[in-house]
Amino acid sequence: DGGITQSPKYLFRKEGQNVTLSCEQNLNHDAMYWYRQDPGQGLRLIYYSQIVNDFQKGDIAEGYSVSREKKESFPLTVTSAQKNPTAFYLCASTNLDRGFIYGYTFGSGTRLTVV
């Protein structure tokens, strides 16, 4: 079955450590996205990528980094520079049709907790 897989589901990090969240899709989607979700704040865009080896900052990119070496994969690294990383992280993907998005397919999310 086609889909988008995030791992791990739960992640605990000590302050000062970098951690990497995995996102893999087998939908042959061009574009991939990382969102952060905090209670009462909806989804905020961290980074997105429309093509391999290219990505753009979203609204809250500080303290995060990404790579897009393969079409299927878009890992997110939460660095020690991110001041408040405890949150629920969602990865999404879609195809772009002449720049029009028909909606996302979401992964199941990773809940990151700093201890």
The interface mask with other proteins, positions 85-114, x = CB under 8 A, is -----x-----x--xxxxxx-xxxx-----
- Binding other proteins (rule: CB under 8 A), the pick from 29, 48, 82, 87 is 48
Interacting residues of 40 by C-beta distance below 8 A, sequence separation 6+ = none
What is the nearest approach in angstroms of other proteins to the Cβ of residue 25?
12
First to last CA, the chain: 36
Instruction: Note whether 75 binds other proteins by CB under 8 A.
Output: no
Cβ-contact 91, 31 below 8 angstroms: no
- Binding other proteins (rule: CB under 8 A), the pick from 19, 25, 33, 55 is 33
Let me know how long the chain is: 115
